[in-house]
Amino acid sequence: MLNWIALAIGFCLAMLAGRIAMSDRTSFIFLSWNLALALAPLLFSVVALGMNRAGWRYMALLALVPWLLFLPNAPYILTDLLHLKLRPPVPLWYDLVMLLAFALTALLFGYLSMICAERVLLGVMKRPWVMLSHVVVLFLCGFGIYLGRFLRWNSWELATRPKSLLKAIAVRILDPSEHPTTWMTTFLVGGLLIICFALTRGIGTASAKRSRSTG
């Protein structure tokens, strides 16, 4: 899996480098930073999984806190498709492929991190509850994407500006009727992420069963 992750990152960065060479501009350099942020939850979840395997169960659960805070950064790059428009001399199709490469790679990081987190949670929760937690987490990602795209909040601002961020969240929870965009974004994006995750898990499970049966 590490080889495929490295290949995906390399492909994204190669396309970004190609765009910079074609346009002589660094307009989309922010994608590299967004991809690094998308990798953060995977790193936290791998650390948590390692702790869990070493028998440090409570430390592993503690490591899932920053995992959850950074997880919305993974699917967030899907919203960077909003930047797609014709920017000569770069062809529109090139930008489309580049943006999709970054978005799908980041989404893969997020889903892989959820699988790692799942293995940690199965040590303290029954499987149905873990599956339910996936649903809740992905809806929270939808809410996090709203905070990032519309209100321009970042994950680390929970530590640097906690009062302002919590106030922005509380206003929308306490008076949802005044913020329809918040909840439409949360449920539509969250629903899409749940469907994609279920499909990804289903394909992976079917592939694993075929490998065991042929082995």
182-202 confidence digits (pLDDT tens): 999 999 999 999 999 999 887
> What backbone torsions phi and psi does residue 156 show, to the nearest 5 degrees?
-70, -10
State pLDDT tens for residues 110-169.
Answer: 999 999 999 999 988 899 999 999 999 999 999 999 999 999 888 778 778 889 989 999
DSSP 3-state assignment of 18?
helix
- Unique residue bearing structure tokens 């592993």: 60
* Short-list 172, 144, 146, 171, CA closest to 158: 144
Which domain does 145 fall in, by range? Answer: 2-214
Total number of domains constituting the chain: 1
10 Å CB burial of residue 195 (0-12, 13-18, 19+) is: exposed
The verdict on whether omega for the bond into residue 162 sits within 30 degrees of 0, i.e. cis, is no
What pTM, to 2 d.p., does this model score?
0.90
